[in-house]
A and B are shown apart, each in its own frame.
Chain A
Amino acid sequence: NAGVMQNPRHLVRRRGQEARLRCSPMKGHSHVYWYRQLPEEGLKFMVYLQKENIIDESGMPKERFSAEFPKEGPSILRIQQVVRGDSAAYFCASSPDRKLSYGYTFGSGTRLTVV
């Protein structure tokens, strides 16, 4: 089992460009969570998705950010018109079920740098 795969590992974007971050959950996991980690801070919840459904997006900024988890393929976190303040590490976690369990596993993250 390859674990939770996130790519790219590092992403550099100029202000105003779009950033697309991908998360492939562990095999058999249909629940995905996205978190953002600003420098020297803890992780902050952004969004929780199940296949084809957004369950909780209470941590997502209202503008420019969107997430999806299609029936086939990875979950995508999309940031439009990036600004310097979007520079952070973005982590996804996947889980085999709705409840928090020991199967809840984080990926290694995507480090986004906006220049």
Chain B
Amino acid sequence: QQQVKQSPQSLIVQKGGISIINCAYENTAFDYFPWYQQFPGKGPALLIAIRPDVSEKKEGRFTISFNKSAKQFSLHIMDSQPGDSATYFCAATTAGGTSYGKLTFGQGTILTVHP
């Protein structure tokens, strides 16, 4: 019940295209859903995050769509650039009450943006 399932495993997109990565979770106690970007040899860096009280959050070219009833959320990268080539992880946690920052990660998506 603690799993977060992420797809696809890898994604190839042309420059200027839209990259879409999907995640699904099971634990209904999760109430905070961040996305992380990881470059080779580096640690994950927070990209954007959403709480389930909104269905969409946009920051620049990055948008999270959230479907609470389906327990699914997705990352959309608009106008994808070669510099966006990295591994993307969705994650989930409980952020309220007595919780703390224990993250459950998806398996990761390797994004390659061709020039």
Contacts and interface: CB of A to CB of B under 8 A. Distances in A.
Interface of A: 4, 6, 31, 33, 35, 40-45, 48, 55-56, 91, 93, 95, 98-102, 104, 106-109
Given A4-B43, A43-B44, A108-B41, A100 B106 contact: no
Nearest to B39: A108
User: Which 3 residue pairs across A and B have the least CB separation, nearest first?
Assistant: A106-B43, A42-B105, A100-B101
Interface size class of B (residues with CB under 8 A): 20 to 34
B103 interface: yes
Contacts, number: 67
A110 B26 CA distance: 31
Contacts of B103: 33, 35, 43, 45, 100
A91 B106 CA distance: 16
A109 B100 contact: no
Contact of A44 (B42, B93, B105): B105
A56 B98 CA distance: 13
Interface in B87-114: 89, 93, 95, 99-108
Given A41-B108, A42-B106, A42-B108, A48 B100 contact: yes
Nearest to B98: A98
A45 B104 contact: yes
Contact of B32 (A35, A40, A100): A100
Interface string B31-60: 010101000011111100000000000000
